[in-house]
Structure 1
Amino acid sequence: MEAQTHYQLLERLYHSANIQSVYSHSQISISHEQAEITLPADPKFFHGANALHGSVYFKLLDDAAYFAVASLVRDVFIVTSSFQLNLLRPVTGGVLKAVGTVRSKSKNLFVAEATLYNDKGKEVAFGTGQFMRTTQPLSSLAGYSAVLEG
């Protein structure tokens, strides 16, 4: 399978996850060792003080780092084994962009980092995660194994 096909299937897998019904306006772009995710900061994601809840920061950063690693793994599903999150400033609107990149790779363990930016290009959070291979074939996942159209 060509790399570009793998990236497109991963993008499809991202959008097919049940959790994406909550984040339905997000977009993802995957390339070699990198992933970018955008999401409008909808007020439904805000905590009681009317700023973005930390769970949304985590979701975007973890997904961006995860899919950067997944770009390298074409046979099995990977999982997050740990993730360190650093929140720098509140977000009260605009479109967020998370950029994930691979930092280190070995046979079974990968390290990736991600940075979250607001719509002015300011860094609002960053994180580093460890990701591990599983034994579950990617081909067994309905969202990944779907045939790409034209």
Structure 2
Amino acid sequence: MTTAEVHYKKLENMYYSGPINRELYKGVQLTVSHERAEITQPIESKFFHAGQSLHGSVYFKLLDDAAYFAVQSIITDAFVYTTTFNIQILRSVKTGSVKAIGKVTFKSKNLYIADAVLYDHKNREVARGSGTFMKSQLPLDDKLGYQQ
């Protein structure tokens, strides 16, 4: 494995080790590559609002996570955090699975921008989002689950 591939694998493990993903988002799959991240999540009724379709918080989480890990893929020394994130929900989702694809669109010394698109199981765009991210003072290490 290359150094970059090891970094991507550690990021994936960090994601899976997060309490919210272990407890609530079982079945989620993350793949990280250079300036890109893809997350697939099976739809379950526990993610629904009273109208029996996917709650907006799930759209947000998947879009933010995909954009976040796209940015984190190019930062190897510190934990990144989201400073702003905006979403547009385009259609409801009730069955199947969803896939969020995040890509870095801008990078500078201290600021990164990434966009993400969420697709349903028919590969239709159901939401999109864009966020800004910054490096924190928190080092990437095994305390965060950043390990092989």
- TM bin, normalised by shorter chain, reads over 0.9
Structure 1 residue 136 and structure 2 residue 138: aligned?
Answer: yes
CA distance in 2, matches of 1:38, 1:140: 24
Runs of 4+, deviation exceeding 2 Å:
none
Structure 1 residue 9 and structure 2 residue 16: aligned?
Answer: no
For residues 57-68 of structure 1, the aligned pairs below 5 Å read 57-68=59-70
Q: Which moved more, 1:16-25 or 1:135-144?
A: 135-144
> Offset of 1:140 from its aligned partner?
5.5
Deviation per residue, 1:66-85 (Å, 9 max, x gap): 00000000000000000011
CA distance in 1, matches of 2:135, 2:3: 20
Aligned mate of 2:124, from 106, 122, 125: 122
For residues 1-150 of structure 1, the aligned pairs below 5 Å read 2-20=3-21, 21-139=23-141, 141-144=143-146, 146=147, 148=148
CA distance in 2, matches of 1:98, 1:29: 11
TM-score in terms of structure 2 length = 0.96
Q: Secondary structure at the match of 2:61?
A: helix
CA distance in 2, matches of 1:71, 1:135: 17
Q: State the identity %.
A: 51
CA distance in 1, matches of 2:31, 2:142: 22
Q: Secondary structure at the match of 1:86?
A: strand
Equivalent pairs, count: 146
CA-atom RMSD, angstroms?
A: 1.0
CA distance in 2, matches of 1:115, 1:93: 18
Q: Which runs of 5+ in 1 are unaligned?
A: none
Q: Secondary structure at the match of 2:116?
A: strand
> Offset of 1:9 from its aligned partner?
0.1
Q: Which runs of 5+ in 2 are unaligned?
A: none
